[in-house]
Structure 1
């Protein structure tokens, strides 16, 4: 593993085979963080019965491709939805790796003002302590109940599966999740990498064969044959 805020993406920056961070039934880590709008709030100080927490950055094609569905979750009664802004997934000449917290907050603010992200955006610290506590994946998602427990987890957000899980949880049902990996639309990939600038696309496509093998094939097969843990609004931890 390289330093947290890498200048160039490499598949070696992530451990795609080992699950880190809280699992279903575990206590969700809480942090006091600055939001993109400049407030200081606790991550787990949310209204409603559940919080849907997604990891993301402006240079992550997967996160960018999921925003349409994920933002609709803010309109579901009983649920809160937020983004934890993490390191740049695919930095380039235009949107570089963060050298200071101010750099990171500026990118998070740009996500809200230029890209139109409407959810609360929490800005992680420069060295990514909150991100590490939640497993360090670039587009993971967690659903957390009012007991502060993780009741749904996906190392890669599948927005349709996340939405179905949330609706089931709000209806009082337990959720056994198998969020299969879904790639981003090619148009979103090209637009996101193009906005990041020179170097971003080259680094991404260099690692693409490995990413396809690790996530679309290996990860999905592991989910298919594996047994998922069950969480609900009543889960305690």
Structure 2
């Protein structure tokens, strides 16, 4: 992540093979975030038994594909906090370019709420991506954090069905051990997202598509198949 706010996407900007960020059972980074109203606070200052934290941006097709299911999930768990950590643009283009300052990043996060209709709380990472890096740097990772600030479920790529299954288990007092297989973005939403980003976004995406398929659909899913999730107690301390 030498050039964190890259102007053109490349699969080389991400490490798809190494699991980084807080592991299951570890303390979640209590990063400083900014709300859409401009108030700064700590991430772990949340109300509820758990926090479901999804990383995303308006130019990320995977994030856009998951939003409807995640919003529906948020609506049925009154004792669970749900938030989006707004990170760098996954696929910047001429119309939605890479951020050149925090104000532009804040404006993109505002657009996610006002134009795209995101209903969950949106927390904006700092310009240099300190929080994004602390949580592993993937564009659409998801973490479930308990009241003690411990990570009790994590996935490098969000799969809403698996995230919901994990949350159901945790609420019921069981460890979240459901395997999280990578699922591609919906083609229609992917095209809409890249088109909205503007010229350059689609070209960069499709140039890296073979590497993305190999690293995630094939290699990552094989690792998930043969690995056993680590069980931790929902109310663990760390």
TM-score range, shorter chain: over 0.9
Q: How far does residue 46 in structure 1 lie from its aligned partner after superposition? A: 1.0
Whole-Å separation in 2 of the counterparts to 1:2 and 1:11:
14
What is the SS of the residue equivalent to 2:211? helix
**CA offsets per residue over residues 166-200 of structure 1, 9 Å max, x none?**
11111111111311000010000000000000000
Equivalence for 1:127 = 128
2:165·2:178 contact (CA, 8 Å) conserved in 1? no
> Cα deviation per residue 1:87-120 (whole Å; 9 max; x = unaligned)?
0000000000000000100000000000001111
CA distance in 2, matches of 1:170, 1:226: 24
Whether the 8 Å contact between 2:87 and 2:139 is mirrored in structure 1 is: yes
Please report how far the alpha carbon of residue 35 of structure 1 lies from its aligned counterpart in structure 2 after TM superposition: 1.1
- Residues 98-177 of structure 1: pairs in structure 2 closer than 5 A: 98-177=99-178
- Larger deviation: 31-40 or 204-213? 31-40
Distance 1:232 1:83 in 2: 24
Question: What is the alpha-carbon distance in structure 2 between the residues aligned to residue 140 and residue 231 of structure 1?
Answer: 19
Structure 1 residue 27 displacement after superposition = 0.2
Aligned length: 237
The normalised TM-score by structure 2 is 0.97
Matching residue of 2:42: 42
Q: Report what 1:224 is aligned to.
A: 225
Structure 1 stretch displaced more, 163-172 or 143-152: 163-172
* Runs of 4+ residues over 3 Å off in structure 1: none
Q: 8 Å contact 2:32–2:125 — kept in the other structure?
A: no
| Structure 1 residue runs without a partner (length 5+) | none
Residues 23-78 of structure 1 show CA distances to partners (whole Å, capped at 9, x for unaligned) of 10000001221112322222111111100000000000000000011112322132
Deviation at 1:230, TM superposition (A): 1.2
Q: Counterpart of 1:176 in 2: which secondary structure? A: coil
